[in-house]
Structure 1
Amino acid sequence: MTITAAIVLFAMVWFMVFFIVLPLRVTSQGEAGAVVPGTPSSAPAGFVVARKARLTTLIAVVVWAALSAVILSGVISVRDFDIRGTLGPEGAQP
């Protein structure tokens, strides 16, 4: 795996985890009892993105390390996803 592939994999994992973590433990303005005029009562109250970004980074590092270990070990390769057989036999010269 190249350094570019590792960075792209981490970015993809980070954003996927971020979109999972983002709606967790959100208190709406209606639940808090303080609705700001001009906003819906379902809008978040006291939304803390920095804390969720830190949590996302911790989880993403663990998931990225596991995925990188699987990729680098060779347990799963590109040939495992070659459904149509377009890569040809292993070890063949192009």
Structure 2
Amino acid sequence: MRWTSIVAIYALFWVLSAFLVMPFGLRTPDQVEGHQVGKGHADSAPVNFRPGLIARRATVLALVLFGLYYANYAYQWITVEDLNVFGKPPVDDLGY
């Protein structure tokens, strides 16, 4: 596998991981005592949004997911043939 493919696939895993870990640990103003919502702010906006923590969590999760992906690529645990749940397509009269 080329290094550019590795970077691109890891980036896809990282973005997916960022969206997966983003809601964990966030608190809305309803969940925090004494917090007043400012004028013009949404009531559902998180009070303790920490992008650095989200980036670290996403990086760790993306490393794990990419490691599993690359191990499957190297050792062929699950192949395209394994994912074919419908079997072979039927052959018509022309042999296709």
Q: TM-score, normalised by structure 1?
A: 0.75
Deviation at 1:80, TM superposition (A): 5.7
Q: 2:57 aligns with which of 55, 58, 66?
A: 55
Identity among equivalent pairs (%)? 26
Aligned partner of 2:71 in structure 1 is 69
Letter in 2 for 1:61: L
Q: Which amino acid aligns with 2:9?
A: L
TM-score when scaled to structure 2? 0.73
The structure with the largest alpha-carbon Rg is: 2
Q: What is the root-mean-square deviation of aligned Cα atoms in Å?
A: 2.1
Which of 37, 40, 49 is the equivalent residue of 1:38?
40
User: How many correspondences in the alignment?
Assistant: 86
Q: CA deviation at 1:77?
A: 4.4
- 1:30 Cα deviation after fit: 2.9
CA distance in 1, matches of 2:59, 2:66: 10
- Give unpaired runs (5+ residues) of structure 1: 86-94
* Post-superposition offset of 1:78: 5.4
Task: Supply the distance in 2 between the matched residues of 1:6 and 1:76 (Cα, whole angstroms).
Answer: 19
The Cα shift of 1:79 comes to 6.1
Corresponding residue for residue 13 of structure 1? 13
